[in-house]
Chain A
Amino acid sequence: MGVPPEHYAKRLVEDGLAFQREAEESTFAEIMGPVRQAAGKVDDAEIVKLVDKTRSIHHGSNGRGKMR
């Protein structure tokens, strides 16, 4: 029943290699094309605000953050 473990492992490796190959052969413009089209004009101030908020979450509530 199901996929034998060795076949599953082989498929995982092949998928990983295919993904890596796709990354190596694609430009950022190709990878992000649909996102750029949908985003329209992006304001740097908005980016700074978004990143500051999300990186605070990444770095956790350990007191590390901007000193105001």
Chain B
Amino acid sequence: MPAPLLRLVLDTNVLLAGLVSRTSASQRIVDALTIRRAIPLISPPVLAEYRAVLLHPEILARFPGLTPRRVELALHRLRYIADEYRTVRVKFEFERDPRDAMFVELAITGSATHIVTLDSDLLSLPTARTDAGKRFRQRLPQILVLEPGPLVEQYGAALGTPLA
């Protein structure tokens, strides 16, 4: 049976954790992207946030060796393997944290199977009894919003990166 095709929207915190850590669930997911075991989805606003955060002086200072050139190489690599949606016409109002709306909008546009995040607001959205939660379930009835650990636990074999 073929492995399930995972179409992932990665929150910025998961991308950063996956790029800079040597042994973490986020790192396993990011490395699995390279071998095409899962497809990352990106859009202009998401890519702009990735770039802004990864190139922020505080981030560069925290992680020795993380240079602007290395960041750009990683982002070029990501664009090369990603499904990129240049236009996202969907609007999703997310009062709790409007900055997260772009991840939901990308997930809707790109028919994502998962949003992978370390953010508690996004993680609770599928079960939230709020207006945003209801709209989320209507727009994305099948999607799973998971932390990196549970994603690797569930799909480690498919990702080619089972937990040690």
Contact = CB atoms under 8 A, between A and B. Distances in A.
Nearest to B51: A58
Nearest to B52: A58
Contacts of A28: 18-19, 30-31, 33-34, 74, 77
Given A26-B77, A27-B34, A65-B97, A55 B49 contact: yes
Q: Size band of the B side of the interface?
A: 35 or more
A42 B129 CA distance: 33
Secondary structure at the B interface, as helix, strand, loop or mixed, is: helix
Contacts of B30: 28
B139 interface: no
Contacts of A19: 72-73, 76
A23 interface: yes
Nearest to A63: B98
A48 B119 contact: yes
Interface stretch (B1-9, B56-64, B83-91, B105-113): B56-64
Interface residues of A, number: 37
Interface of A: 19-20, 22-24, 26-29, 31-32, 34-42, 44, 47-48, 50-59, 64-67
Given A44-B118, A57-B56, 15 more contacts: A20-B76, A23-B74, A24-B80, A26-B77, A27-B77, A28-B19, A31-B74, A35-B20, A35-B64, A35-B70, A39-B64, A42-B21, A50-B58, A58-B48, A66-B99
20 contacts: A23-B73, A26-B73, A28-B19, A29-B34, A35-B66, A35-B70, A37-B65, A41-B23, A42-B17, A44-B24, A47-B16, A47-B118, A48-B119, A51-B13, A53-B58, A58-B53, A65-B99, A66-B96, A66-B99, A67-B96
Interface of B: 12-13, 16-24, 26-27, 30-31, 33-35, 48-49, 52-53, 56, 58-59, 62-66, 70, 72-74, 76-77, 80, 95-99, 118-119, 121
